[in-house]
Amino acid sequence: MTPSAALSTGIGSSLPREPVLRADAVEVGYPDKLVWHDATFSVERGEFVAVIGPNGAGKTTLFRLILGLRRPNRGRLTVLGEEPRRGNPRIGYVPQRHSISYDTHVSAETLVRLGASGASWGPRFKFREDREATRRALEAVQASELGEKALGQLSGGELQRIFLAEALVGDPEVLLLDEPLSNLDLRRSRELVEVVHGLVTERKVTTLLVAHDINPLIECLDKVIYIANGRVATGTPEEVLTSRSLTELYGVPVEVLHDSRGNIVIVGGENPHEEDRP
């Protein structure tokens, strides 16, 4: 496989509309260092996409570009057919959070409701609408019974479902989830992935999920965006997660191993300099 084949977009051509996300030769970085460059890919409506790569490779940076919190140095990125802009109500975002302070007494329902009402200034007379939207969002993530609990009381998996409801309450078309699985054990990870996958299939919410480990996700994914070594590879998991394509990407030998249950282990390629990045 040539590099260009490994980096191609390939699937989703049955949908005639403009892709949800289109990157065209995007380069992003700070004055003193490049994060990644030459990224060309697209994400189609209703796809479930995993963003994978070593620490500091620039996975969160991709989200900040999509949210309009950063600009690319070069190239062009469009989201839902327009330039990225801050506060786009069509995008729901769950940032990476390690935890929430144990003494947060505010109810989970309040946080979800703020997802709908928190950005409106002055008096707001949409109490019923907000309450109803909040109820539906909690229901969609199977967290109706958690609404009255204090945020500080919730477990890691429960909190992630609340954050998901907070992102979902405005009925976004795109969901960006940054490491929602990082503090969860395998069982809770799979439960959360099931909830997210349900949203993708039932509501056609295009979802990008940053993860460390692809294994809890692998059965439901439509596409993988693999960021490493300053480069971005995209395609189906079968296309990207091969020894050949990752060796291309890293420029050093990489092995992709499969166990008897279909779990994937990636060996080598973890550039030591990548790990040092904040």
Partner 1 sequence: MSFPWSWNLVTDFRLMWAFTFIQNAYYAGTIIAVVAGLIGYFVVLRRSSFATHALGHVGFSGAAGAVVIGVNPIYGLLAFTLSGGTGMALLGRRASTRDVEIGTVLAFMLGLGLLFLSLYNGYATEAYAILFGEIEGISTAQVIFTLEMAIVVLAVLALLYRPLLFSSLDEDVAEAKGLPLLVLGTAFMLMLAVAISIAVQVIGVLLIFALMVTPAAAAVRLTRRPLYAAILSVVIALAATWLGIFLAFFYATPSGTQFPVSFYIVSLAFGLYVVVRVAVAPYGFRRSARAPHAARRSLDS
Among 5, 15, 119, 186, which residue sits at the site for partner 1 (rule: CB under 8 A)?
119
Taking the complex as a whole, the smallest distance from the CB of residue 119 to partner 1 amounts, in Å, to 4
CB nearer to partner 1: give 145 or 259: 145
Taking the complex as a whole, the smallest distance from the CB of residue 145 to partner 1 amounts, in Å, to 5
Binding mask 16-35 for partner 1 (x = CB under 8 A): --------------------
Among 11, 114, 220, 264, which residue sits at the site for partner 1 (rule: CB under 8 A)?
114
Do residues 27 and 36 touch, judged by C-beta distance below 8 A? yes
Question: How many alpha carbons lie under 13 Å from residue 97 in its C-beta half-sphere?
Answer: 15
Do residues 44 and 81 touch, judged by C-beta distance below 8 A? no
Report the C-alpha gap between 38 and 54 in whole angstroms. Answer: 18
Binders of partner 1 among residues 129 to 148 (CB under 8 A) are: 144-145, 148
Among 81, 118, 251, 253, which residue sits at the site for partner 1 (rule: CB under 8 A)?
118
3-state secondary structure 185-250: CHHHHHHHHHHHHHHHHHHCCEEEEEECCCCCCCCCCCEEEEEECCEEEEECHHHHCCHHHHHHHH
Residues listed for the chain: 278
Taking the complex as a whole, the smallest distance from the CB of residue 90 to partner 1 amounts, in Å, to 12
Residue 262 as a binder of partner 1 (CB under 8 A): the answer is no
Binders of partner 1 among residues 51 to 80 (CB under 8 A) are: 67, 69
Binding mask 240-259 for partner 1 (x = CB under 8 A): --------------------
Report CA dihedral (122, 152, 171, 11) to the nearest 10 degrees.
140
Q: What number of chain residues touch partner 1 (CB under 8 A)?
A: 35
Residue 173 C-alpha from the chain's centroid: 13
Binders of partner 1 among residues 162 to 221 (CB under 8 A) are: 166-167
At CA 272, angle to CA 267 and CA 274, rounded to 5?
100
Binders of partner 1 among residues 83 to 102 (CB under 8 A) are: 86-87, 91, 93-95, 97
Taking the complex as a whole, the smallest distance from the CB of residue 138 to partner 1 amounts, in Å, to 11
Residue 221 tokens read as 């994914």
CB nearer to partner 1: give 154 or 224: 154
CB nearer to partner 1: give 167 or 221: 167
Residue 111 tokens read as 């946080």
Do residues 53 and 240 touch, judged by C-beta distance below 8 A? no
**Residues of the shown chain interacting with partner 1 in the complex, contacts defined by CB under 8 A:** 67, 69, 86-87, 91, 93-95, 97, 103-107, 110-111, 114-115, 117-124, 144-145, 148-150, 152-153, 166-167
